Amino acid sequence: MRPRALEDVFKKNHDIDVVVHLAYADMPQENSKSEFLHETNVFGTMRLLNLCRKYGIKKFIHKSPSSIYGANPDNPVLIKEDYPLRGNRNYQLIRDKIEADIFCQLYMKENDLPKIVILRFCGIIGNHIRSPLNTIFKDKFVPMIAGYDPMFQIMDERDVIDAITLCVLNENIQGIFNIAGKKIQHLSEVIQRLGKIIMPIPEFLIDLVYKPLFKMNQEHSFPFDINYWKYPFVIDTTKAREILKFEPKYL
């Protein structure tokens, strides 16, 4: 949406109290599109926040992914909300998500309207989700890197809606919250729970064979740094349970 058209939404609707920011561009990473992606994902978030402040919006809810913590062999067993954002910045889509999250945190520190809520979701799957991760789990055969079976989290799209709704309806809620599904399991157990078949692949074949095939057959690029298929980035959801009173229902 053009910046002027976006501002027109606020000008014409004076009864907006809460803005939920879900927009995110995740088309294949190509040099010709990198500037457009950054403009949409980072500067788009900045513009929207500035408009919220300009027009007196009470609350701004930003959807962020748990992948921004990074998948690293030295990660703690459970990652809390104050853990450093160590996602691989060599991947533009991860880098943009980190920058957008940090920008929201800076607004939060100014202690002014709108109140900021950052929801960091684990991997989301569902019939209405368009993402490379969801695509991988929809296939009958799901790859695993031979020799690795990290702890992993997924959640259903309906639980995402429930978490956002709790934040919208409770005017006092603000801050950062990790949001995940019911279970923490090894990746192999997640794949089997979804009724899929594990396809072990030597790590060197991921780049040589699987990534090229994935890009040919899907509308988006391979989802992430393969470290996310090797090392854990499991989030602690205690804060969401205690303050948001969020309990996942579906996965």
What tens digit of pLDDT does each residue of 152-165 get?
999 999 999 999 99
Quick check: 244 pLDDT over 80? yes
Classify residue 198 by its DSSP letter: E
Tokens of 234: 């499991």
**Burial class of residue 90 (count of CB atoms within 10 Å of its CB; 0-12, 13-18, 19+):** exposed
Q: What is the pLDDT of residue 234?
A: 98
Structural domains in the chain plus CATH codes: 3-244 (3.40.50.720)
Question: Residue type at 45?
Answer: T
Q: What is the pLDDT of residue 210?
A: 77
Query: Which stretches of the chain are DSSP H helices?
Result: 3-12, 34-38, 44-54, 92-109, 132-138, 157-169, 187-193, 203-205, 211-217, 238-239
Question: Residue type at 29?
Answer: Q
Averaged confidence pLDDT in the chain: 90
Q: What is the pLDDT of residue 32?
A: 46
**Minimal CA–CA distance to 171: which of 52, 21, 248, 60?**
60
Instruction: Please write the tens of the pLDDT for every residue from 9-59.
Output: 999 998 999 999 998 766 544 444 667 677 778 999 999 999 999 999 999
Convert 111-142 to b/e letters by CB count within 10 Å (16 or more is b).
Answer: eeebbbbbbbbbbbbbeebebbbbbbbeeeeb
**Burial class of residue 211 (count of CB atoms within 10 Å of its CB; 0-12, 13-18, 19+):** middle
Query: 250 or 35, which is more confident?
Result: 250
Question: Residue type at 181?
Answer: G
Tell me the mean pLDDT in the region 208-217. 75
Query: 213 or 236, which is more confident?
Result: 236
The predicted model scores a pTM of 0.92
Tell me the mean pLDDT in the region 58-80. 97
